[in-house]
Amino acid sequence: MTREELIEKTKVILAEEFEIEESDIVPDASLKDTLGLDSLDLVDVVVLVEQNFGITLKGPDFVGVATFADFYEMLWRKLNE
């Protein structure tokens, strides 16, 4: 999977799960505010990532993740570990 493919797929699954328009998901937007995430929803983000990319995220992985760009970067890094 290329980095671009990872980003596209991430946008699709997040938009579907959190019922927002894909066009609202832009790199500099806040992940939390755009998706309307509370502490419960973060659990579902972990589930989505595991189901779609086979990556198991832990709490510390989210440190420093504020925007979608941060999120893609973290996923790309984990995917290539």
Q: Which residues lie near other proteins (CB under 8 A)?
A: 17-19, 40-41, 43-44, 46-47, 50, 56
* Min dist. Cβ of residue 18 to other proteins (A): 7
- Please, which residues have CB within 8 angstroms of residue 68's CB and are 6 or more apart in sequence? 10, 11, 25, 26, 27, 28, 29, 31, 34
* Min dist. Cβ of residue 57 to other proteins (A): 8
* Min dist. Cβ of residue 58 to other proteins (A): 8
Looking at the Cβ atoms of 59 and 64, the one nearer to other proteins is 59
Identify the three-state secondary structure at position 67: strand
The separation between CA 18 and the C-alpha centre of its own chain, rounded to angstroms, equals 11
